[in-house]
Structure 1
Amino acid sequence: RHKILLAAVGVVVLAFALFTLYNDYLQRTTINQNLESSVSQAGQLTASSVQNWLSGRILVLENLTQNVAFQGVNSDLSGLVSQSSLVSTFQFTYVGDSKGVFTQRPNVDMPAGYDPRHRPWYKSTIDAGKTILSPPYLASVGGLVVTIASPVKTAGQITGVAGGDLSLDTLVKIINSVEFGGLGYAFLVSGDGQIIVSPDKEQVMKNLKDVYPGQPLSLDARLREVTLNGQQRLLSFTPITGLPSADWYIGLSIDKDKAYAPLSQFRSSAMVAVLIAVAVIALLLSLLIRALMRPLTDMGRAMQDIAQGEGDLARRLSIQGKDEFAELGGSFNQFVERVHASIAEVSSATLQVHDLSQRVVNSSNSSIVGFDEQSARTNSVAAAINELGAATQEIARNASDASIQASEARTQAEDGQVVVEKTIHAMSTLSAKISDSCTQIEQLNASTDNIGHILDVIKGISQQTNLLA
């Protein structure tokens, strides 16, 4: 019963384990799909917000270049670069022409000999022939800044470059506002792996290789697992499209433990459910097996009673149903009935043997009494023989005396000799008969011993038969 219960519980545990593993796989797959979808949507939404924010500033600066081109680079440009839309958008707005004239608002004294044509923003714009977005840099004032520069074209010719220094504080707020449901944060990274904006100030202007050493990263939307300060995190990158000459990406860093917390909760719940289910099923199986095994248990007890010599062969098992246990119970009842009949026959035969044994014992006792009487008679014959021997010796002496005295009467002596020879012949015959009697007595004694052995064997059989009965 215990083996059946253990086997059944093992099968249940295995089934629940396989079911749990399958559900765990489904949960993990679903979480991965949902996480990838959510990360992709959040990345695209953030990238779109950044792109829209920068595109608006670029349009403002390109509008300045159009106004400068319309008015002419050689005219007074201070009014154009002082427009409220430019002042509120850029920290500094400036125009440098092909002659080296530099106009800037707010007006700041520039070093002597300052020539805008030698500045990187001017050269990069001339080389590109279109609006550019410079790599971010830390300005002496205003924190993290990027420069937007656009060529001024007059009659198809580049006659100057207009530029504006744009603070990324607003961009930082936009990116830091992405909390992703408390699972992680967003950050801005350039195509070469330099982190531009991040909630973690220590990561700003560092390369991804320095932040995640020894962990190869590719700037794509695929989720990859990395380790940061001993914590498992998931990274994904979404490109920001539509930016001139800038290869920027929105990175999303997700706490893996928080992201897969539902899976951990499911595993814990599944473990508890499996334990409860196993306990309940084990209890139900125990009760069910006990009920199903009751006929077999009764049969075992009955056979045990019979084996211990205290069984009631008149007892029968109650049979219910037509299952295998019912067939086994019927076979057991038939077996007990046959054994009962056999024991009854053996008991009857034992009684007959006992009666016969009593008769043999009685006959043996009678033989023993007869033997005693014969022995007494034999002793009497032996005593008479001894007396006859003494008398014979006396006769011999008398005969010797008579022979001496009959020397004178030869005839009487010869007659006496004939008498003596007859007497000796009679004694020899009597002696032979006595020897035959002794032989018969010894044979009778041996037969009596054999009868005693037979009686012992019969008594042993009688005792064993009584025990069997």
Structure 2
Amino acid sequence: MNVLSKVKIRTRLLVAVLVPVLFTAATLAWITASQIQANGEDELKRLENSLLEARKAGLQNLIDAAEAVVLEAKNDPSMTEAEAKEAAAARLRSIRFDETNYVFAYTRDVYNLAYAPDPSKEGPTKNPVVRGLVADLFAAARGEGFYGYDWMNPASGNEEPKMSYSTIIPDWDWMIGAGVYITDIDRQVAAAREDIEAGMAEALGFILLVTVVVVVIALVIGVFVGRSVTRPLKNVSNMMQEIADGEGDLRQRLPDEGTDELAELGRRFNAFV
């Protein structure tokens, strides 16, 4: 038995109207959300790369300037090598940026040559973590110079991502470099992500509002069309029942104006009685 035969015609009409509307709205919402999310991820990636590249460019420019300062002392003929090294280290100690950041210098055997925050800590170190980091920075200096790692941030007391740039002073075999924490980049990207998610929620909210309005309009149209179909059918059914019961008034007529199926049914019924 056909399942639809158990469903009233009015209900069928409403379903026929509402299902396409809801399907279209759901599809539109899915496409919109997917597009916003895809574009948002691309935009976040571009933002993160842009911020990181700007930070890296700043570090490289700083170390290029610090290298020039060291080479100036190194190439000064009026100073001995020891005097030039001491002068270069003193100049590196004087370089500060972003209030708390500084330029550091190490020898390959991990001797700290310049530590602006506390010069008393300069000298050899046996800390295995520092020794490993210095080795990595020497290796990075032989390549592009950049090296990312996690390091304790005194300001927050937590390990945070940091980016450093280093270069090697020829002949002296010094490694000079500087680093900056890039946690703020993560915060900026997270804030941008929240803005994108808010925009997506707003777009989906608008789609939902439009869907509700369209559904209400579709319901009104569906009810109106349903009544225009079911009311004549109900009249035919009632009259046929009265005739079957022997109580029908054979002089009654159904509306037969028009060219639709209901008008045709009315004409045939009128001809029958």
| Structure 1 counterpart of 2:39, from 30, 43, 47 | 30
Residue pair 2:74, 2:84 contacting (<8 A) in 1 also = no
Instruction: Among all aligned residue pairs of Structure 1 and Structure 2, give the percentage whose two residues are the same amino acid.
Output: 19
Contact kept in structure 2, 1:51 and 1:240, CA below 8 Å = no
Asked whether the 8 Å contact 2:60–2:165 carries over to 1, the reply is yes
Q: 2 CA distance for matches of 1:135 and 1:291?
A: 94
Q: Secondary structure at the match of 1:71?
A: coil
**Equivalent residue in structure 2 for 1:288, among 211, 214, 225:** 225
Alignment map for 1:264-279 (pairs within 5 Å): 264-279=201-216
Amino acid at match of 2:78: Q
CA deviations over 1:243-268 (Å, ceiling 9, x no partner): 55669785632435454222222233
Does 2:72 align with 1:47?
A: no
Which residue number in structure 2 is paired with residue 71 of structure 1?
78
1:24/1:267 contact within 8 Å kept: yes
Higher relative contact order (CA 8 A, sep 6+): 2
> Normalization by structure 2: what TM-score?
0.62
Task: State the structure with more CA Rg.
Answer: 1
Q: Secondary structure at the match of 1:261?
A: helix
1:328 matched residue in structure 2: 265
Q: Secondary structure at the match of 2:80?
A: coil
Secondary structure at the aligned position of 1:12 is classed as helix
1:272-314 per-residue CA deviation (whole Å, 9 max, x = no partner) reads 3322321222122222332344433432343344345443211
1:319 paired residue number = 256
**CA distance, structure 1, for counterparts of residue 92 and residue 115 of structure 2:** 20
Q: Aligned pair in 2 of structure 1 residues 248, 303: CA closer, same or farther (>3 Å)?
A: farther
- Residues 6, 74 of structure 1: alpha-carbon distance in 2 compared, 3 angstrom cutoff: closer
Letter of the 1:275 partner, please give it. Answer: V
Which residue matches 2:28?
Answer: 19
Aligned to 1:394: none
Question: Which position in structure 1 is the counterpart of 2:15?
Answer: 6
1:121 aligned residue (99, 106, 116): 106
Cα distance in 2 for partners of 1:76, 1:28 equals: 60
Maintained 8 Å contact 2:256/2:266: yes
Distance 1:276 1:73, change over 3 A: same
| 1:195 to 2:151 alignment | yes
Deviation for aligned residue 1:17: 0.9
What is the 5 A alignment of 1:176-195? 191=148, 193-195=149-151
Query: In 2, Cα distance between the equivalents of 1:298 and 1:136?
Result: 101
Alpha-carbon shift at residue 190 of structure 1 (Å):
5.1
Alpha-carbon distance change, 247 to 313 in structure 1, aligned in 2, over 3 angstroms: farther
Q: CA deviation at 1:82?
A: 10
When structure 1 is superposed on structure 2, of 247-256 and 7-16 the one drifting more is: 247-256
Matches within 5 A, 1:57-96: 57-67=66-76, 70-73=77-80, 88-89=94-95
Report the CA distance between 1:121 and its aligned residue. Answer: 2.6
Distance 1:75 1:47 in 2: 32
Residues 325/125 of structure 1: CA separation in 2 closer, same or farther (3 Å cut): same
Paired residues of 1:190 and 1:247 also in contact (CA < 8 A) = no
Shift of 1:45: 1.7
Structure 1 length as normaliser, TM-score?
A: 0.39
Q: Which amino acid aligns with 2:157?
A: E
Contact 2:152–2:160 (CA under 8 A) maintained in structure 1: no
* Matching of residues 34-433 of structure 1 within 5 Å: 34-67=43-76, 70-73=77-80, 88-89=94-95, 121-124=106-109, 139-140=117-118, 191=148, 193-195=149-151, 201-203=156-158, 206=159, 243-244=167-168, 250=182, 252-253=185-186, 254-255=189-190, 256-307=193-244, 309-335=246-272, 337=273
Q: Is the partner of 1:51 in helix, strand or coil?
A: helix
1:320–1:326 contact (8 Å) kept in structure 2: yes
Letter in 1 for 2:106: W
Q: Which residue type is aligned with residue 73 of structure 1?
A: T
CA distance in 2, matches of 1:207, 1:282: 57
Contact 1:51 1:243 in 2 (8 A): no
| Gap runs ≥5 in structure 1 | 92-119, 127-133, 146-188, 209-236, 338-469
Q: Check whether the contact 1:5–1:285 (CA below 8 A) recurs between aligned residues.
A: yes
Aligned to 1:356: none
CA contact (8 A) 1:190 1:196 kept: no
Which residue type is aligned with residue 286 of structure 1? V
Partner of 1:163: none
CA displacement, residues 308-346 of structure 1 (integer Å, 9 cap, x when unaligned): 5443211121223222222222222233x2xxxxxxxxx
State the distance in 2 between where 1:78 and 1:29 align: 54
Shift of 1:207: 6.6
RMSD: 4.4
Q: Distance in 2 between matches of 1:248 and 1:195?
A: 10
User: Secondary structure at 1:121's aligned position in 2?
Assistant: strand
* Change in 2 beyond 3 A, CA 1:298/1:195: farther
